[in-house]
Amino acid sequence: MFKKLDDVERRFEDVDRQLQDPNVTANTQKYMALMKERSDLESIVTVYQSYKRNQKHLEEIKYLIHNESDEELRDLAKSELPDLEKEKKALEERLKMLLLPKDPNDEKNIILEIRAGAGGDEASLFAEELLRAYTYFAQNHKWRVELMSAAPGNVGGYKEAIALISGEKVYSKLKYESGVHRVQRVPDTETQGRVHTSTVTVAVLPEADEVDIKINPNDLKIDVYRSSGSGGQSVNTTDSAVRMTHLPTGLVVTCQDEKSQLKNKHKALKILASRILDMEQAKAQKAASEARLAQIGTGDRSERIRTYNFPQSRCTDHRIGFTSHQLDNIMSGALEIVIEPVITHFQAEMMKEQKTYEAR
């Protein structure tokens, strides 16, 4: 591990030197690439330098304990030792975490797809509330949310809502949100006060770049039709709605939110590309046994991952057995309450897999 860390530190210093070169600063593309690499390396180097300072301090303290003749100074050194040992262990664990293989999608924006499942109208209403919670969470992180497509429910809410969330490391924060989200509460229409259970499915797809997926226009079947539902004067007057079918996979995307047919086509193509990328990556993970082991429980969409119990103000993530009674805060956008423990859990699982792999 420490050889890797020394290599990282040397590379960080090399990148710093290159960034001072006028030939590099004049080349915008190379300069931006180096700045991004520097930012990635800096998080590791900063912790490593703290670790080295801790090691130096530990050596000094241990020298005092074994060689100092002044008993008072020896006692003072001994009192500092436990905290320094604790700090050393914490820094080592942090460094191991930082050296884990990075998910290539972590830096990407995401396509967030939320669909009402079991529970009829109540599921549609909760789908809208869950989208709102993710939107608040995104705003707290200064991310941008764009509603790409929406199908309204019968009494409000959404049967389906698709949004593009753009910003710094969006996928790394939300990649474990895929799965079945269950809600338990008394619907407004319930006269007997009984708690109903409904479900909503969430899919988090990394946004596909042009270099990730190239779609052959000949593989697309595009149908246009008149929009329906709320939308102003353009509704039912122009053929602006788009249904796009990818013939090789059978994937279908519909978009009708924009008044412009061209804009709806652009949105549909973006959603379609991300779904194809997600499908290709799922195939690759299934084919690679080591990668599959490292991804156990990370969001199979048929897996019930979380329950939101409103009568008890309780939110439980079933994958890690974590429960919070701050449901109001969570639904108001403080999703880090449940998201951070999940990320920590799966990072720990990856560390275990890495140790097992290295021991073979």
CATH code, domain with 302: 3.30.70.1660
Are 25 and 81 part of one and the same domain? yes
Domain boundary among 244, 260, 284: 284
CATH of residue 261: 3.30.160.20
Instruction: Report the domain count for the chain.
Output: 3
Which among 175, 190, 113 is positioned nearest to 339, based on CA atoms?
Answer: 175
What pLDDT is recorded for position 123? 92
Same domain (yes/no): 52, 125: no
Quick one: 337 and 191 in the same domain? Answer: yes
Q: Do residues 71 and 123 share a domain?
A: no
* 205/114 same-domain check: yes
Which residues touch 246 (CB under 8 Å, ≥6 apart)?
215, 219, 220, 252, 272, 276
Beta bridge partners of 317: 306, 322
Final residue belonging to a domain, choices 53, 74, 98: 98
With CA atoms as reference, report the closest residue to 203 among 282, 256, 291. 282
Ranges of the chain with pLDDT below 50? 230-236, 288-301, 357, 359
Q: Is residue 9 part of a domain?
A: yes
* 75 part of a folded domain: yes
Domain that holds residue 145: 110-209+296-352
Residues 278, 315, single domain; the answer is no
Q: Same domain, yes or no, for 242 and 274?
A: yes
The H-assigned helical ranges of the chain are: 2-19, 22-25, 28-67, 71-98, 121-140, 170-174, 261-287, 289-294, 327-331, 336-359
Q: Where are the beta strands (DSSP E) in 130-288?
A: 144-152, 158-166, 179-185, 196-206, 220-225, 241-246, 251-255
Per-residue pLDDT tens over the stretch 82-125 = 999 999 988 888 887 777 777 788 888 999 999 998 888 899 99
Burial code (b: 16+ CB inside 10 Å, e: under 16) for 63-74 equals ebbeeeeeeeee
**Final residue before a domain boundary, out of 98, 126, 156:** 98
pLDDT number for residue 129: 95
Residues 311 and 168 in one domain: yes
The secondary structure of residue 229, as a DSSP letter, is: S
pLDDT at residue 299 in the model: 35
- Given CA atoms 79, 85, 86, 88 in this order, what sign does their dihedral have? positive
Same domain (yes/no): 322, 191:
yes
pLDDT of residue 208: 82
Report yes or no on 85 lying in a domain: yes
Same domain, 271 and 323: no
- The reply to whether 359 falls in a domain is no
- The reply to whether 201 and 303 lie within a common domain is yes
Residue 104 forms part of a structural domain: no
Integer CA distances (angstroms), 271 to 40, 146, 243, 245, in order: 29, 12, 12, 12
CA distance 307 to 309: 6
Question: What's residue 265's pLDDT?
Answer: 87
Specify the CATH number for the domain of residue 64.
1.20.58
Residue 219: predicted pLDDT: 87
Q: Which residues pair with 180 in a beta bridge?
A: 201, 304
Is there a domain that residue 124 lies in? yes
Q: What is the pLDDT of residues 210-269, one digit of tens each?
A: 656 778 888 888 888 876 654 444 444 567 788 899 988 888 888 887 778 888 888 888
How many C-beta atoms lie closer than 10 Å to residue 181's C-beta? 23
Do 188 and 300 lie in one domain? The reply is yes
